[in-house]
Structure 1
Amino acid sequence: MTTHHPREDLLGDNGGTFAFDGLEAAVRRARQAAGDKHVLVMGANVARQLLRAGLLDEIWLHIAPLLLGGGTRLFDGEQVELVPVEAVAGGAFVPHLRYRVRNP
């Protein structure tokens, strides 16, 4: 979990840790905890910050044909070079797209 308000770590009921020491530190700690597994990022705001910082290796997009109104656009104003890796047709017309992020 990331936040703009630093504080001491909290241990969640499921064994997860809520770390409040900055985005880069959160990524470093998540990668260490995941070992050889994936680290998932949810939410366009955090994903955009990670893209800007060059901390994302891949993006997996699940596009649902549903209008939800406003929100944070993932690529709004960003110059991101993506390399297609995989496209899978999901159920209920939901495509699953996977891209590698080409960082400068």
Structure 2
Amino acid sequence: MTTVFTHMTMSLDGFIADPDDRIDHIFDWFDAGDVPVSTANPDISMRVDVASADLLRHLTGRAGALVSGRRLFDITDGWGDNHPVGAPVVVVTHRPPDDPGRWPRTTFVGDVAESIARAREIAGDKDVTIASASIAQQALRLGLVDEVAVSLTPVLLGAGIPYFASLGTLVLLEDPLVVEGRRAVHLRYPVRR
């Protein structure tokens, strides 16, 4: 069965990037161990601890589609049409790029509900990962998220791009699955229905 989840690395004070979109301090855990974790993108690899490697392999191994916002897509230049999880990407945007053929594995969709539906179709019986904070917030408000995952890092950024600050509604979560890693504590919360 397909699970729609959001997973982000977050500072202890709730930010997924600093005000200039830099992520280096909160992504230290991706190079804090001895276990290599390869990705579908040969330009991106990680070396994490055993517990973090098991979690990453679980989250990425079931990924059938990834949903992103246009802002993240632009920052990453569409991951060169090869996102590290190896799944096709659905980008939520009201302004598709002029040259969408440059990204044959990417679908551009106009709203969040439609993007989740399209990602579920693409994923088949695999999972859908939401990789943008604003898209995750909108999907949570719409009741489209089954699980919230956070890799919480020992960093206080003081300001930046928040993961949940603009949620604007109450969302209840079940007790977490907790995985203690090096430079990150990984929390997975099923959404209470």
Flag whether TM exceeds 0.5 (same fold): yes
Alignment of 1:59-98 (within 5 A): 59-68=148-157, 69-76=159-166, 77-92=168-183, 94-98=184-188
1:30 alignment partner in structure 2 = 119
Q: Is 1:88–1:96's contact at 8 Å kept on the other side of the alignment? A: yes
**Counterpart contact for 1:11–1:18, Cα < 8 Å:** no
The farther-off stretch of 66-75 and 43-52 is: 66-75
- Does residue 52 in structure 1 map to residue 141 in structure 2? yes
Residue deviations 1:12-50 (CA, integer Å, cap 9, x gap): 54x422322311111011011111211111122111100
CA distance in 2, matches of 1:65, 1:35: 36
Q: Detail structure 1 runs of 4+ shifted over 4 Å in the superposition.
A: 6-9
CA distance in 2 between partners of 1:74 and 1:102 (Å): 17
2:161 maps to a residue whose letter is G
SS, match of residue 19 in structure 1: strand
Count of matched residue positions in the alignment of Structure 1 and Structure 2 = 100
- Richer in strand (by share): 2
Normalised TM-score (structure 1): 0.79
Separation of aligned partners in 1, 2:121 and 2:171 = 26
TM-score by length of 2: 0.46
Structure 1 unmatched runs, 5+: none
Q: Which has the higher contact order (CA 8 A, sep 6+)?
A: 2
Percent identity of equivalent pairs = 36
Change (3 A) 1:80 1:12: farther
Give the gaps of 5 or more residues in structure 2: 1-90
